[in-house]
A and B are shown apart, each in its own frame.
Chain A
Amino acid sequence: MSYFFQLVVSGIVVGSIYALSALGFVLIYKSSRVLNIAHGQIIAAGAFITYALTVWVGIPIYIAFGMSMVITFFLAMSVERIFLRRLIGEPIISVIMVTIGLMSILDGLIYLTPFGTENFSFPPYLPTTPITIGGVSISWTQLVGVIITFSMIAGFSWFFKKSTIGISMRAVSDDQMASMAIGISVPKVFGLAWAMAGLSAAAAGGIIGNITGLNFDTLHAFGIVVFPVVILGGLDSIQGAVVAGIIMGLIQQFASGYLDGNWGLNGTGEVMPYIILLIILLFKPHGLFGIHEIERV
C-alpha cells in the first residue's frame, strides 16, 4: 500500500511540474491561437540560465532562479517581436511551422553550449535527507518544487482574474476586434503572453532541473509531454492545464510503477501520455475543461 502512496506522491510532484509547463503553453494559445512547439526548448533555456548564473557566476540560487525568469521573460518577448509579430494575419499553419523552425534554432543554439551534450546538476542547497511519513518519502527539492509550482499557478490565476492587464489579455483571447475597439493593443498583449509563457517556462525548467538534474533531452521532452496535458485539459483552460497535468503525472507514475517489467514492457511512462492523447482526440477532443466551440468539419 505504501508503494501505491509513493506513486501518488511522485505522480503529484511530476504532475504539478507538467501543470506549470502547460501553463505557459496555454497562455500563448489562449491569447494568439498559436501552438508553441518550441516550448520545451524555452523550458530548457530557463533551466540552463539558472544553472549558469548559480554555478558559473556564483549568484545564490534563489536570486538566480528569479533572474533567469526575468531573462526568459525578455527572451520570449523578443522571440515574439522578431519572428511572430510580422506573421500576424498570415494563415495559422505557417505560424505553427515558424514555431517548429524556432524549436530547431533553439536546439542548435543550446547544442552550441556545453549543456547540449553534458549532464549537470545543481549544487545541493536543501537538506538531502528526504521527509518520510508512514513509508512514503518526498525529497526536499520535490516539496519545494511543488510549493513554488502551486504558488505560481495561484499567482497566475489571480493575475488573470483581477489585474487590468490580465483582464485585457482575456479580452483579446475572447475577441480581438472588440478588444481593439476598447483600446487594448493586441500586439502588446501577444508579446506579453509570450513573455509570461517564458517566465513560467523558466520556473518550470528550474524546478525540473532541481529534481531530475540538467539534461537537455529530459528537459525538452517536457515541452512535448505538454501536448497530451493541454489536450486532456482543453487547449485554452488554465485550471484544465492544472488538473490535467496532475492526472497525467499520476497516470505516468502508475504506468511505470505497475506496467514496467511485466509482459516485457519497458518505459511505458514515456509513451502512455501519447496513447491517451490519441484516444482523447478521437473521443473527447475538447478535453475536460475546454470550451465546446471546436469547429466540426
Chain B
Amino acid sequence: MSSNRWLATGNYFTSYEEEQRIFSTSLDRSVMCIFLFILFAWPLFLSVGNKYMLVIDNILVAVIAVIGLNLVTGFAGLISIGHAAFVGIGAYTVASFCRVLGDSHIIITHGWPLMIVVAGFMGALFGAIVGLPALRLKHLYLAIATLSFQMIFQWTINFMNFFDQGQTIPVGRVFWVTGKVARKEHYLFWYYVILVVIVILGFGVRNLLRTRYGRCLVAVRDNDRAADAMGMHPGFVKVYAFGLAGFCAGIAGALHAYLYRGVGIDSFTLHHSINYLAMAIVGGLGTLQGAFWGPLAIRVLDLQVERLSEWTGSHLTAATNLTTALRPLSFGLVIVLFLMFEPRGIANWWRIFRSYVKLWPFRY
C-alpha cells in the first residue's frame, strides 16, 4: 500500500475499519479543515452586501433541506414531492409559537436554538406520519402520499385563521451573547448559525451512513426483499427515512423563518418541492456532496434566469411574466436533461475531476 494516497492508483484497504473511515488520510483531513476554516473566516476579510449575503444564506438553508431530501430520495430511494411542506412544517412551528406568545417573546428571541431543534422534531414527526403508508406500500404510492401531504399542508395554511391565511407571520429579532442582533449583522449572524448547523448535520449524516442504520437505508433502496431476508424491516426503515428527512427539513424551515424574520405560504408551495427535487437530482442523488452542489447550481441558475428575463424585459415590452415562465422551464429542463444524460449529477463530475487530478499525467 502506498503511503501517499494521492499518488496511489487504487484503494488498498486491508480492513473494514480502514474502508469506513471518513478521512482516509491525514491529508484529506487537513484539506477539509482548511476548507472549513475558509468558510468560517472569509466574511472577516471580505465584506459582502446584505443582498449577496442573503443569497448565500438562502443557498445554505437549501443545503440543509436537500441533505434531508437526499436521505429519503437518494439513499432510501423514495420520491418525495412534498419536501417544501416539511420545510414549511418547521417554519410554521416557529410561526405558531410567534402567534401564541407574540413575536418578541423571550422564547423566540433568546431560545432560538431550542426553537430550531423543536422545529426539527416537528418535521420528523410529520415526516414519519406521512411515511406510514410505507409500512404496506412501495415507492409509487409514497410519491402520491407526499404529494397529497403537500396539498393538505397548503390548504391548512391557506384556510386557517391561526396561520393568518398564509400571509406573512413576523418573527422577532434574536439575541446573541453580545445583545440584540442588529439589522446590519443579521445576515452575517445567520450565515454562521446555518454554517454550524450544516457542519453538524453533514458530519451527522456522514456518520449515520457508516452505521447499520444508515446502511439499512441503502440496502432497502437497492433491494427490499433482500433487505427483508437479512432481517431488516423495510417498512420501518422507510418510515424512519421519512422521519430523518423531516427532521432536516424542519430545521431548514426554522432557519428560513428566522432568516427572513417571517413565514408565509409562498415559500412552501408545490413549486418549491419540485425545486428541492431538482437540487437533489442536479447535485447527485445518493451522495452527500450532491446536497451541496445542487442548491448552489440551482440558485445560480435561478439568478441567471432572473437576470436574463430582466434584460429581455427591458428590451421587449410584453415580457412582463417572463420570469414566471422561464423559471419552471429552466428547472424542468435541468431535471430532465440531468436524468437523461448525467443521472449521477454534479457529484459525478467532481469524482471524475478528482480521479483525473489523482492519476495525472496518466489518463484514466
- A102-B336, A275-B152 in contact; A267/B158 too (CB < 8 A)? yes
Within 8 A of B (CB), among A272-297: 273-275, 277-278, 281-282, 285, 294-297
Within 8 A of B (CB), among A103-130: 103-109, 111-112, 116-117
Interface assignment of A266: CB less than 8 Å from any CB of chain B = yes
What residues of B have a CB within 8 angstroms of the CB of A92 in the complex? Answer: 139-140
- A274-B152, A297-B235 in contact; A108/B140 too (CB < 8 A)? no
Instruction: State whether A35 touches B143 (Cβ < 8 A).
Output: yes
Instruction: State whether B274 touches A103 (Cβ < 8 A).
Output: yes
Of B199-207, B321-329, B349-357, the one with at least 4 CB within 8 A of chain A: B321-329
Instruction: State whether B332 touches A104 (Cβ < 8 A).
Output: yes
C-alpha spacing A278/B153, complex, angstroms: 13
Cβ contact of B339, chosen from A94, A107, A294, A297, cutoff 8 A: A94
Instruction: State whether B148 touches A103 (Cβ < 8 A).
Output: no
Instruction: State whether A93 touches B79 (Cβ < 8 A).
Output: yes
Instruction: State whether B336 touches A101 (Cβ < 8 A).
Output: yes
Instruction: State whether A285 touches B330 (Cβ < 8 A).
Output: no
What residues of A have a CB within 8 angstroms of the CB of B161 in the complex? Answer: 264
Instruction: State whether B144 touches A35 (Cβ < 8 A).
Output: yes
What residues of A have a CB within 8 angstroms of the CB of B132 in the complex? Answer: 282
Instruction: State whether A104 touches B329 (Cβ < 8 A).
Output: yes
Interface assignment of A224: CB less than 8 Å from any CB of chain B = yes
What residues of A have a CB within 8 angstroms of the CB of B81 in the complex? Answer: 37, 100
Instruction: State whether A116 touches B139 (Cβ < 8 A).
Output: no
Instruction: State whether B137 touches A294 (Cβ < 8 A).
Output: yes
What residues of A have a CB within 8 angstroms of the CB of B266 in the complex? Answer: none
C-alpha spacing A285/B79, complex, angstroms: 18
User: Could you tell me how many residues of chain A have their Cβ less than 8 Å away from some Cβ of chain B?
Assistant: 49
Interface assignment of B283: CB less than 8 Å from any CB of chain A = no
User: Could you tell me how many residues of chain B have their Cβ less than 8 Å away from some Cβ of chain A?
Assistant: 54
Interface assignment of A86: CB less than 8 Å from any CB of chain B = yes
Within 8 A of A (CB), among B136-177: 136-141, 143-145, 147-149, 151-152, 155-156, 158-159, 161
Instruction: State whether B140 touches A96 (Cβ < 8 A).
Output: yes
Instruction: State whether B340 touches A98 (Cβ < 8 A).
Output: yes
- A35-B144, A104-B331, A105-B332 in contact; A94/B274 too (CB < 8 A)? no
Cβ contact of B148, chosen from A37, A97, A278, cutoff 8 A: A278
- A35-B140, A100-B335, A294-B137 in contact; A281/B145 too (CB < 8 A)? yes
Interface assignment of B313: CB less than 8 Å from any CB of chain A = no
Measured CB to CB, the residues of A under 8 A from B are 35, 37, 83, 86-87, 90, 92-94, 96-98, 100-109, 111-112, 116-117, 224, 227-228, 231, 235, 264-267, 270-271, 273-275, 277-278, 281-282, 285, 294-297
- What are some 10 contacts across the A-B interface (CB < 8 A)? A92-B139, A96-B79, A97-B277, A104-B331, A107-B332, A117-B321, A265-B159, A285-B136, A297-B134, A297-B136
